Structure 1
Amino acid sequence: MTLGARWTSLLLVGLGSTALLTACSDQPLEPVIEAAASGSTVQPPSNAKVAAPSPSQIDISWQVNSSNEAGFEVWVALTAQGTYSLWITTAPNVTAKSFTGQNPGQEYCAKVRAFTALGQSGKVRAYSAFSTSACATTPIPAGPSKIAARPLSSSYVEITWSNDIGFAVSNFRVERSTDQGATWATLVKTDPYTTRTVDFGVAAEHPQLCYRVIAIMSFGESTPSKVACTTPPSGPTNLTATGVAGPAIALAWTDNSAVEDAYQVLRAPDQVTFTVVATLPANSTSYRDAGGSPDTRYWYQVRATKDSGFSDASNTANAVAATQPPAAPTGVDAYPGGSTAVVVIWAEPSTNEDGFRIERSTDGQATWVVAVRADASQTGFTDGDRASEQPVCYRVIAFNGLGDSPPSNVDCTTPPAAPSDLVATTVAGNEIDLTWTDHSAFEDGYEVDRVDCYYDDYNGYYCYDTPLATLEANVTSYRDQGLPTGVFVTYEVVALKDNGRSDPSNQAGASSDLPPPAPSNLTATAASAGQIDLAWTNTSTTPEYIAIERCDGGMGTCADPAAAWTFVAWTDLDATTFSDTGLLAGATYTYRVLACTPGGGACSDPSNLASASTP
C-alpha cells in the first residue's frame, strides 16, 4: 500500500489481535486512521434498549459483557434500516446515556459497541461487534391543558386553555363538535400567544357544544387537548320587582332554560354597577331581597349560570323597600298629541314608588279606568286610539308594596279634529292666500306652518315645520306676505288645544310669483336627420327661463290631454331659440314651451304646439 513520503503503515501482530496502524511522519504517535482489530479482544455489549420517556428525550441502555473495554460507542439511526452515525463515546463501565432536545414523534434506533486501546499511545482501538439494535419512538406532545368552555351569554361561548406544551408553538387550532365529539370542525386558528377565543352566534339551549385545542409546531401537531363541553342557557325574562313589607323587595321572573346550573340575582344602586347578591338553585323563579337599605331604590337583573358562565341577563326591574306608601304625583297635565292621542305628564314628589297607575275618565270623572301602568322612572305617557272631539280626563296614582298614594290632580282635554281642504293660491305682490275647512268645535286656535324639506346623504329625505302664525279659533284663512321672488312654499295647518295640537291638514303649496304669460308663435323646423330647431316669442316683461317639452308623434297624437310629454332642457335666461339634437331620422316630434320665473318660481301655461319631421 503506497501512502506517500510522509506516511508510514505498520501491521501489528502478536497482541492477541492484529491491527493496522497508519501514521503521519510529522506526528508519529498520532494515528490518523484507526482500524478495527482482526481478532476478538473485547466482548460486545448486549441487551441494548431504547426508551422515549418524553417527546424530547431518548434513553439508551446496554449490558456490559467485558472487563477490559476502554469505552463504548453509541450509534443512532432515525429508522431501523437507516444509516447509523456515531452519537457519543463513553467511558468504560457506562451502561446508559440520555439524549434531550429530540423531535417528538420520531423513531430512534441505537446499537452499541465496545472498544479497547492498543499500543503505547493507546490511540489504536480494537472494536467489538455491535449489539443488536433497538428502537423507540418519542411520543407526540400532549395537547394544551386546562381547557375550559363557558357561556358568556345565551349566544357566546368562551374557550380558554394553557400554553404548556414545552415546545415552540406556531399556532393553536380550536375545534368544535356539535354531535358530542363524533365529528370535529375547525372553529378558529389563533397565534401562539393567544390562549382564549370566543365562539359567537351559537344557539341557546343547544344540546351540547364541545371544544378541543391542538398545538401546531414546526415538526407537527400535538395530540388534542381534553374536551370541554357546555350549553349556553336561555336567559330569564319578565323580571318584576315589588317593594313588600319587611322592608324588602320581591323579585319574580320566568325560567326559560332547561340546562342552567343556578340563577344569579344582581343588584345595582345606580342602574350601572350590578353585583351578585344571591345565587339560587336551578329552576328558581323568585327571590326576596331584604339586604338593601330601607326607602332606597335598587335595580335588579337575573341571569342563568352554566359551567361557570352565564346567560343573557333578564330585563332590568327596580323597586324600593318602602316603609310607607308614596306621596301623590303632582302637576298632571294632559294635552292633545294629535287628533286621536293625548299626552299625559306628571311630577313625582316621592322616591319610594314602584310605579304609577294612569287612570282615564270619559264620563266627566264619574268613573275611572286604568289607561296604563308605568314604571317608577316614567313621568309621561301617550294615550293613543282616542276619539277626536271627545273630552277625556286623567289622574295619576303612585304605588309601592305598601299601598297607593292619593290621586293626583285631574286634568282634562279634547283632541281636536284636524282641518282639511287646505288650498294655497298665489296673489299679486309676492303673497300667498291659504284657506281650509274647520272641523273642530273645541280648538283654542289654529297654527299655520311652513314645511321645508331637505335631503342629505346622512339623514336622507327629511322635513320640518316652521310656525308662521297663530290664529284664533274658527279662522279658516290666512295670507302669507312679504315672500321673496321665485320661491315655492309648502304649508300645513293644525288646530291647537291645551298647548297640544291636532293632526296636520293636507299640505298645499304655491309659488310666490304669479306665473308669466305663455310664450307664443312656437315653430319647429327640421334642420337635419337628427336635429329640429325651435323658435318662439317671449311675451313676458320680466326675465324668465324656458322649459322645452317634447312629445313623440304628430299634432293629432300630442294634442290629446293624456299625451306623454318629456322634459328636454332649460334654456338660458330670455332665450327665444333652441336646437333639439340626437333625434331619430324619419320621425315626427311635437313641442311646447313654458316660461318660468327664476329660482324655481311659477311656470306659465304651455305655448302653442309645433311639429316637425326629421328627414
Structure 2
Amino acid sequence: AKDSSGKTSSFNIGSYNTSIVSVGNYTSSSFTVTGLSAGTAQIIVQNSAGGPSQTVYATVGGGTGGISVGETNVTMSPNSSYTVSVTPTTGVSASSTNPSIVSAYVNGGLVVLNSASVSGNATVNVWNSSGGTAQINVTVSSSGGASLTLGMTSVNVAAGGTQFVSVTAVNNYGGTDTFYAQSQNTYIATAYADSLGITVEGRNSGNTQVIVTSGSGKSMSLYVNVTAGSLASPQVQAPMLDYSTATPRVMLYWYDVAGASNYEIERANTNDWIFTGIGITYFGTPQFADSGVVAGSSYVYRIRAVAGSTGPWTETSSIYVEATVVDYPTTAPTNFGGNSNVYEVNLYWDYVPKASYYEIERKDMFGYTTILTSNYTSFTDFDLSPGTNYWYRVRGVKGATDPAYWSAEFYIMTKALDVALLPAPTIYTDASYDNVQLSWSYISGASYYRIEKWNSASYTYDLLAEVSGTSYADWSVSSNAYYEYRVAGVQVVDGSGVVGNFNYAGLYTDVNPNTQPPAETPPIHSYYGTGTTTAYVGWYAVSAAAWYEVSYGTDYYNVLYDNGASTATVYTTYIDLSGLGSGSYNYFKVRAANVNGAGPWTGIYAVSTYTTMYEPAVPSAPYVSGKGYSIANSSIFVDIAWQYVDYASFYIIERSADGGTSWGSLGTPTSTTYRDFDILSDVTYQYRVRAANDSYPNPTGYSGSVSYAVPVMMSVEIGFH
C-alpha cells in the first residue's frame, strides 16, 4: 500500500465471511488467510491513506487439501538449484515471497528452487486448488557448506548421440561429494553419472531436464534439447529355441539402439523367404518370443529400430525348429536387482530353469569381468568403494559350451562415505616364541578395531581379527621369525564398518625353547561320507599342535605303512576329503605336529562314500543348542543345530524375522550346526534347514522351523579407578 507521495502506507481488512476464513498475522506488507470450512469468501483490502480497495477471492476446499512438502527448511548456495518433493504431484503451484533471493516453480512432483547471486532469506508458498497450503523457508548463503556445480546448464544432442557434462560436488566437510543424475523424460533422453560428470544420451526429438543431485542433497537442473538423428541397425544374437512352454518357440535378443522408440520384427520361412511382420516391442525391451513356429521348419528373422523414421533391417541367421527338448537355459534371469550400503552391493534375481549355476559380472572402465560363479540366486559383492557407481549382469549356465543369456544390466551406487576417517592408533608390541602380543591406544568413536597381518606370499595385508578391545594375541606364528601388522579403528556408518587410518608395527618372535613335538593323538569325534568321492572328518584339538597331518586312501595297508597313501596338512580341526573311491570304504589316520616334529598317529578309521548321490531327505526340525554373548564379535548369538541327513554334502539354513512370511538364506554349512551373530534384541526369529548336495543343490523340501525369541538386552557401562 502506498500513499499519494509514494511512501509505504498501512492497510485495513474490510468485511469477509468469518465462518469460511479467518485473517491474521499482519505485517507492513502482508497478511495470512486461513481456511475454516469449505466455501468461497471475499476479503476487502483497503488502503489506510485512501484510494482504491481490492478484493481477494478465497476458495476453501474440503479438509486441508492434503498437500505436503518433503522439506520445510532449505539452505542453498548462490546460483544453485534445489528440489523439494511435494504431494500431490498434480494441480500444485508455488511462488516465492522474494524472487530476487530465490525463485520457485513446480515440475511434476518437485518444487524447483533457483537461487540468485545474493544471500538472504525467502519463503516459498506452495498450494493446490483444493485449498491445501505449505511453506518452504529458504536461506541463501555463500559461507561454507556443500555445493554442486555443472560445467554447463543446457545441452543440445542428436538422437542416438551423447554429450558429457562435468560436475563438481563438494560435501559438508569440504571434500568430494557423490552425485547422480535422473532424466525427467527417459523417452527423450537418458543420463548416467561417473566420477567425473554425467553423460546425456539422446533418444527422441524433444526437450526435457536432467536433475543432478549430490549426496549432500544439493541439486541442479540441466536443460536438454534432443534433435533428430540417424538410427543404427540393431546388433542381434543368434535365435534360440525355447521348449519351456507347451509348444516350441523361438527367442530373439538384440541390443538397444540409441534414439529408438520401438522395434519391428519380421519372419520368413526359408522355403519362400517372404518376410511378414510378427510383432513390435519398445525401447528397453530388446527381445521377442515367437510362438507361431512349427516343428520341422526353418526360419529367418529381421529387426529394425523405429523413432518416427525407420533404421536399416538387421537379418538373423536361420534356425531349425526341432521337436526334441533342449536341455539348457533358454531365457535370461529376470527381476535382477539389489541394494547397497557403503562398502557392499547385495544382488538377487529369479531362478532360471535348467541352469546348473550362475555367472555374475561387474563392469568398470575396461568392460565386464566375471566376479563369481554361484549355485544360488543371490550374491553380495564386498570391499567396494563408497559413493561409487557399479554395473552388473547375470546369466544362468548349464554347461561351459551351452548357450546362455545375460540379464538386463543393473546399475547401483554404493552409499557415500560422508564422515571423517578415524586417526591411526599408537601400537605397542611384545613377543614370545609362540605368540605376538599387540596392544594399541583407544580411539574415540571407534566401534571396534581391525588387525591385519602381512602375507609375504601374496604381498598383501590379510585380515587377522576384528575385536572390540585394545589388545590381541596372535598365536599363528613360528619361533625366531619376523612378522608385520597394522591396526585401525572402525566406525559403523549405515550398517557398514568404515576403516580408519592404519598404523604399522613389526617384530621378531623369540627362539623356541621347547624341542618336543605334540605328545597326544587327536581324538576323532565324527566322520562320514558327503558324496560319491568325498567325506568329512573332524577331531578335537590337542595341546602343542600347530597343524595336523592326515594320511588317507582306498588301501588299508598303504595308509597303515605310509606307502602310496595321499597326505594333507590342515590348520583346522577338520578336513573335507576328496578324490576317494566311489561307493567303497576309504581309510584315514590323523596326527598333530609342530615345528619340532609330529606326534603319534591315531588308529586307522574306515569311512564309506556313496555309490550314487540321491536327493537328501527333508531334515527334521532344527533346535536351539546354545545362546550367549560373544566378546570377540561384540554381539549376542544363537546356536542352531539339526540331525545329520544321508546324502547331504551341505545344508541351506534360512531365517525369517516376520513370522515365516519371508525367508532369507544365512549360509551353506557342511556341518550340522550354525551360529547366528546377526540378531537383534527383542526380535523373534524362525529357522529352517534344507539338505543338499552337488547333484541336488536346490532341494525343494524344507524342515520344520524352530523359533527363538531374543530377550531384551540392556547395555551397562562400568568405570574403574
The answer, yes or no, to whether TM exceeds 0.5 is: no
State the TM-score bracket (shorter-chain normalisation): under 0.3
Higher relative CO (Cα under 8 Å, sequence separation at least 6) belongs to 1
TM-score normalised to the size of structure 1? Answer: 0.26
TM-score normalised to the size of structure 2? Answer: 0.23
